[in-house]
Amino acid sequence: MKCFAENCLRERALGQRNCSFSLKTGLHIPETESFTMSHYKLTYFNLRGRGEIIRYLFAYSGIKYEDYRIEWADWSSIKPTIPFGKVPILEIDGVIIHQSLAIARYLAKENGVAGKTPLEQALVDAIVDTIDDFMSMLPWAEKDHDVKQRVFDDLLTNTAPGLLQDLEKFLGNKNWLVGESVTWADFYWDVCSTTLLSLKSDLEDSNPNIWVLKRRVQALPAIAAWIQQRPKTIL
Ligand SMILES: N[C@@H](CCC(=O)N[C@@H](CS)C(=O)NCC(=O)O)C(=O)O
């Protein structure tokens, strides 16, 4: 039987721990024969988009996963097979989780970057949701090119600076957005700000501390390696 002792979960996912679980004693028993490594399959498009925060968490944790990237041409036939019809989804040993932030939060909890206490976790979630509120206002799927351009310009010029100022204030002189160590809120800031800068590079001209934070995230060895090796896509 698989061991679910808390301190074994991460090592098991990494394939570093072989253990089983005694129903008699409730303790884990280091053994090899019962060991099975979870299989993770991420399904998304060939974009950073809403899949990238999940890829960051896999990169940071070192857990192996299948990074399945759907071709646009295949999407209409794949969509009906996906629960709720949207991606990203993450399959873990046959269980499917949908919603990018639910997936990311799960991986963050499993890998110790969700915040150290319930209060920190609430603050991390609040920052992620605040950034996500803005990213979700951008009309990604708008068909009318002129309307899309106009709304993007308006949001990036008139709304984004206020958000960045608020984040700068929240961060203050701290190294990380929440607590004493990196959390997935820092990852989400890096992922989303990369997209924002690709749309409007002069956003970097003010609010210096949040851009220092971005460089701090990108300097984490596992994240730096992922950025270097990931497929190059526009978004
Ligand atoms: N809130 C969802 C949004 C999911 C979503 O809208 N996904 C888009 C791609 S970013 C999608 O599947 N679009 C294709 C479609 O709706 O047919 C999440 O964060 O996962």
Residue ID of nearest Cα to ligand 1 atom 2: 99
Note whether residue 47 is domain-resident. Answer: yes
Q: Give residue 30's pLDDT.
A: 52
Tell whether 204 is covered by a domain. yes
Q: What percent of the chain has pLDDT over 70?
A: 85
Measured CA to CA, the distance from residue 94 to residue 38 in angstroms comes to: 10
**Domain limit, last residue, from 110, 141, 158:** 110
The predicted-structure confidence for 134-177, as pLDDT tens digits, reads as follows: 999 999 999 999 999 999 999 999 999 999 999 999 999 999 99
**What is the tens place of the pLDDT at every residue in 60-106?**
999 999 999 999 999 999 999 999 999 999 999 999 999 999 999 99
Q: For ligand 1, pick from 50, 68, 101, 233 the residue to mutate: most ligand atoms within 8 Å of CB.
A: 50
Query: For residue 23, is pLDDT > 80?
Result: no
How many CB atoms neighbour CB 76 within 10 A?
8
Domain CATH for 55: 3.40.30.10
CA-closest residue to ligand 1 atom 11: 86
Residue 187 falls inside a structural domain: yes
Residue 123, amino acid: L
By the 10 Å C-beta count (0-12 exposed, 13-18 middle, 19+ buried), 146 is classed as exposed
- The answer to which of 11-25, 84-98, 121-135 has the lowest mean pLDDT is 11-25
pLDDT at 202 over 70: yes
Same domain, 58 and 154: no
Has residue 27 got a pLDDT over 60?
A: no
Domain of 179, CATH number, reads: 1.20.1050.10
Q: Which domain holds residue 13?
A: 1-37
Q: State the SS3 of 59-101.
A: HHHCCCCEEEEECHHHHHHHHHHCHHHCCCEEEECCEEEECHH
Q: Is the pLDDT of residue 2 over 90?
A: no
Q: Is residue 200 part of a domain?
A: yes
Please name the residue that has the structure tokens 């899949």: 51
Pocket test for ligand 1, best of 72, 75, 78, 87 (most atoms within 8 A of CB): 87
pLDDT at 10: 53
Total tally of structural domains belonging to the chain: 3
| Cα–Cα distance measured from residue 108 to residue 1, given in angstroms and rounded to the nearest whole number | 25
35, 19 in Cβ contact below 8 A?
yes
**What are the catalytic residues?**
44, 50, 140
Q: What is the pLDDT of residue 22?
A: 43
Do strands 95-98 and 89-92 pair parallel, antiparallel, or not at all (unpaired)? antiparallel
Cα dihedral: 123, 211, 161, 127 (round 10): -10
Beta bridge partners, 97, equal 90
Residues forming a β-bridge with 69: 44
Please state, in angstroms and rounded to a whole number, the distance separating the CA atoms of residues 156 and 152.
6
Does 1 score more than 70 pLDDT? no
Residue 235 in any domain: the answer is no
| Mean pLDDT of all residues belonging to the chain | 90
Interface confidence: ipTM more than 0.85: yes
CB of 226 within 8 A of CB of 55? yes
